[in-house]
Amino acid sequence: QSVLTQPPSVSAAPGQKVTISCSGSSSNIGNNYVSWYRHLPGTAPKLLIYENNKRPSGIPDRFSGSKSGTSATLGITGLQTGDEADYYCGTWDSSLSAVVFGGGTKLTVL
């Protein structure tokens, strides 16, 4: 059971928009920054969003992040088949003194 809660799967058609939610508590998302990662099995995960809504260099603006209270959201617009992957949110949990991740969301582009 993950500390952060994500939907197991989401799907949308190519060109459409999808959002992935990440729910936590005051000890983690509520008082710390959220990051988002994309992971294709067999490859290294990739940082997409940090500090809730910032994109590292090289990440297209199709990817966006937001946070409100104890929840965060990753948005992906203009979906491409290459976006199919597992997506994870992560943050620091001040009560656990640990980095915590969501259980991951599998994105399918239909």
Return residues touching other proteins (CB under 8 A). Answer: 2, 32-35, 37, 39, 43-47, 50-51, 56, 86, 88, 90-92, 96-104
Going by the DSSP 8-state scheme, the letter that residue 29 receives in this structure is G
User: Is the dihedral angle over the CA atoms 63, 67, 91, 57 positive or is it negative?
Assistant: positive
Using the minimum distance from each CB to other proteins, give the nearer residue, 2 or 19: 2
Using the minimum distance from each CB to other proteins, give the nearer residue, 33 or 77: 33
Using the minimum distance from each CB to other proteins, give the nearer residue, 64 or 102: 102
Please state the three-class secondary structure of 52-84 as a single string: CCECCCCCCCCEEEEEECCEEEEEECCCCHHHC
Nearest distance, CB of residue 110 and other proteins, angstroms: 23
